[in-house]
Structure 1
């Protein structure tokens, strides 16, 4: 093969020195045809490229080899066969060639596939308040000393690149609804469009093109906050590349090293402050004269709202057991005894469980996650306790019942001094709905100060306080019914009636 230096000298001898072709051929010891080829092509380098590759040994096995490569292409990288493994399989089928031929063929096939799979993208541009992008990420944190993996709702405004992150225990629908309430409160309003993946909590069915059958409750939330949901093409994450990029940067800047907090509330407060600090320190990628925070302040004027928070919950009908318990998400929650054995409506919020019976709230609990938890409110069983006071001794809802100080002390003294302590203490508890917990606690404290550990004394104090608090009505009589002369008490009138004595009127 003719070198680059030889080609340069041939071209220089012909064009600069004006030498003949036969002289150049004789001088460089090459054929005249080669000299003519150099001068006619005007190329400065010649490379040999084999147009047809002959594979006398591997040829009959290329179809089997390509079939295996296609099978491996859809597998995770760790599960794909190496060239050495493919070579061993071909040998078992009768291949007698060298391993190097297989290795070169595999390398060339992967390079061609990589070339064909290379995709080009078009940069996007958004106006202020036009759109935001949403996605979930999974991050490792430590809450209360326990390593956990939380789900983080990530929002990014497309124009200003301002971001908002909030962590939840899972990716259920009530969580995504609550995340939007918190995000729009933070941003100060909503954009005209929201760009999403095809999540099961938002999309029931993927139709033709961009059409979707949207979850009804999610669609109501979109209507409440006045924005239009837009869903990406399946497996086309680049259509919301800004939030995808935000997830990677947040993992590096906010969640590395692993964050440690007592609970989710403190973690989310930290994420808000960290996002603001990052926005104020980071330069906007498309507006070099501004930071992300300054661009966000500009975009806020174009946002719609804010509106009052949407009712971020899911509703379901459940049955209350005879033990006044309802089951939801593998956990049990107590309800008021008036709803025992009935079908009730359960509303699951991101952090609360609310139960309604006939449009009346019969339970409101802090939500528990995990499995097998039973959450009691002892006051739900008060009406049952009045009929069965003995259940106070061993009733599961009353174990470790945290009562106000005076009530707890009254229970301890009654338990230590009276055999019917359960009946007497239930009588005291039964006064709470009518008088209020604070009033009953004050009455117990007064009774303890008098040294009277007795339900009768506590109830007497309550009724006496109630009588003192009742104002005496003031009557205003009409002038026609008022006395002209105020009567004077005179006992002689009574004596006259008895003995007939003369009494001067």
Structure 2
């Protein structure tokens, strides 16, 4: 463009000939004539690349591409497969992959057009504020407590503003599906007034009834959930053909995964990761989606007041199950085992299965809460559920799975081990283990820190007894084991009180100050004063001298 402008200026100002202009600018005279005829350079002709090595095999490639017209979408020829067939069937060793790839890309489109196949045209859609939303699941990989694991990200996105809620769950089952909705509704502060778009997830749809009216046979619990919150589901076309119908959430899954979950996050729990996600979502409010002039936060502020209100009653997203407790005091839920209190053996319990945990009920009483296990064959065992049984079988404690799990989780600390070792030296294995179990039972009514402090105090004075641990543990509770104003005088000199061992005092010098006790200077106890109260009987009474009558 600049060359043509310079040539035209020189010809106009200096009046140079074509030959002189060609010599000055070092170009062909044909170029000078083109510049004088038009200020715009002619378009460049695209270079046509020839592939003489591929020419003999083009009919075979065309035949393969024509056979793909009737083949399933996932079983059509790729450029790599075509090249491999050319080598195996036609000895095309001199043909490169890039040559086959370039020819297949152009020729496939020509064959599809000739067969009447047209590329699908997408029509832009208008989404009124507060009317629509989209939901989808996406797979993510994280490093959870040092182990690489696959999890599932629930994404809920408002169609107008692009405001999205993301939550990570160990499963994509119905319990996670419902729990994600509830969290999204509560965070967003309302429900779309028109519909929410879904693909045909098994958590919502049991059967796809093919037809133009998009009829579906829905899951009963999903129908109850949608009716409770008052929204209408809209189901997209099955398969990849319906992905464009909720393209906003499809793109949101990929965008969030690339920008916030790459590289793989390293967290100790999914709760910690979801707290980070909430902060990232707040930062994303300042982002502007391509094609919009306003930010996500600005559009959401407009849309928020147009959403339908939330219902006043809460909905339990847990899946209700009724397993039976086996002889090991365990229940099986989704091929994983969880412990329950031993007195429930042989009975059926009610389980509310959530996305990240499960709650176990005996009637209306909550008896256990466990984190949900994602791996098949896993188990969660609570040592507290077996304490009453171990009281009668103390020899089963050292090798029990419950004890190993308690050590792994940190509930059974080295302080407990030290108390156990000391009490077995004093009381023997069986009785010493029973003392330990009595100490473990204290965790049900006292804080763990207070019990551990009580154990440490008992070990210092050599009194390895559950009663001593209980006394010291109550002293270390914030209220001393009672309400703050119940016995104020009892806590007046609490800092100077301590538990002492009388056994240790008896085995040492009684005149020495041992275990915090002063010397005992009191006189030896005597009952002489009480002897004065006894009657003095020097002579028997007349009645006592009368002989008793003999029995005939």
Matches of 2:189 and 2:317 in 1, distance apart?
18
The aligned residue for residue 167 of structure 1 is 168
For residues 107 and 459 of structure 2, the distance between their equivalents in structure 1, rounded to whole angstroms, comes to 92
Is 1:333 the equivalent of 2:338?
yes
Root mean square deviation, CA, Å: 4.2
Question: Cα–Cα, structure 1 residues 146 and 431, in superposed 2: closer, same or farther, change >3 Å?
Answer: closer
> TM-score under structure 2 normalisation?
0.62
Query: Are positions 1:424 and 2:435 aligned together?
Result: yes
Q: Deviations over 1:284-327 (max 9, x none)?
A: 634x2x21110001111112334565322212222211110112
1:216 aligns with 2:220: yes
- Pick closer, same or farther for the CA change 1:150–1:458 going to 2, 3 Å: closer
Shift of 1:227: 1.6
Q: How does 1:402-441 map to 2 (within 5 A)?
A: 402-403=411-412, 410-419=419-428, 420-429=431-440, 436=446
C-alpha separation in 1, matches of 2:351 and 2:160: 40
User: Superposition pairs for residues 68-147 of structure 1, below 5 Å?
Assistant: 70-71=70-71, 74-75=74-75, 78=78, 81-82=81-82, 85=85, 108=107, 110-113=109-112, 116-147=117-148
Tell me which residue corresponds to 2:66: 66
Please report how far the alpha carbon of residue 80 of structure 1 lies from its aligned counterpart in structure 2 after TM superposition. 7.2
The aligned counterpart of 2:28 is none
* 1:292 and 2:296 aligned: yes
CA offset at residue 426 of structure 1? Answer: 3.4
Q: Distance in 1 between matches of 2:141 and 2:438?
A: 51
The answer (yes or no) to whether the contact 2:198–2:235 under 8 Å persists in 1 is yes
SS at match of 1:71: coil
1:275 maps to what in 2? Answer: 281
Q: CA deviation at 1:86?
A: 6.6
Could you say which residue in structure 2 is the equivalent of 1:302?
306
Runs of 5+ unmatched residues, structure 2:
1-57, 92-98, 488-552
Tell me which residue corresponds to 1:229.
233
Q: What residue number does 1:31 align with?
A: none
How much has 1:383 moved relative to structure 2? Answer: 2.3
Q: Closer, same or farther in 2 for the Cα pair 1:155/1:381, shift >3 Å?
A: same
- Please say if residues 133 and 156 of structure 1, whose CA atoms lie closer than 8 Å, have aligned partners that are also in contact: yes
Q: Tell me, what secondary structure is at the counterpart of 2:464? A: coil
- 1:27-54 per-position Cα deviation (integer Å, ceiling 9, x unaligned): xxxxxxxxxxxxxxxxxxxxxxxxxxxx
* CA distance in structure 2 between the aligned counterparts of 1:436 and 1:359, rounded to whole angstroms: 24
| Kept after mapping to 2: 8 A contact 1:225/1:305 | no
Change (3 A) 1:140 1:381: closer
- Structure 2 equivalent of residue 355 of structure 1: 360
- Ranked by relative contact order (alpha carbons within 8 Å, sequence separation 6 or more), the top structure is 1
Counterpart for residue 208 of structure 2 = 206
Q: Aligned partners of 2:402 and 2:203: how far apart in 1? A: 35
The residue number in structure 1 matching 2:502 is none
TM-score by structure 1 length?
A: 0.68
Superposed CA deviations along residues 435-456 of structure 1, whole A, max 9, x for unmatched, are: 6567876765665565422346
Deviations 1:411-456 (A, max 9, x none): 34212322121233334555666x6567876765665565422346
Tell me: CA distance 1:306–1:410, structure 2 relative to 1, closer, same or farther (3 Å): farther
Q: Deviations over 1:327-384 (max 9, x none)?
A: 2233211111121122222221111122223333232111222133221111111222
On the 8 A contact 2:171/2:374 being kept in 1, the answer is no
CA drift of 1:265 comes to 2.7
SS in 2 for 1:302: coil
Query: Which structure 2 residues correspond to residues 27-42 of structure 1 after superposition, within 5 A?
Result: none
SS of 1:304's equivalent? coil
- Structure 1 Cα separation of the partners of residues 300 and 432 of structure 2: 65
Change (3 A) 1:469 1:449: farther
Equivalent residues, number: 404
In the alignment, the residues of structure 1 paired with residue 188 and residue 393 of structure 2 have an alpha-carbon distance, to the nearest angstrom, of: 54
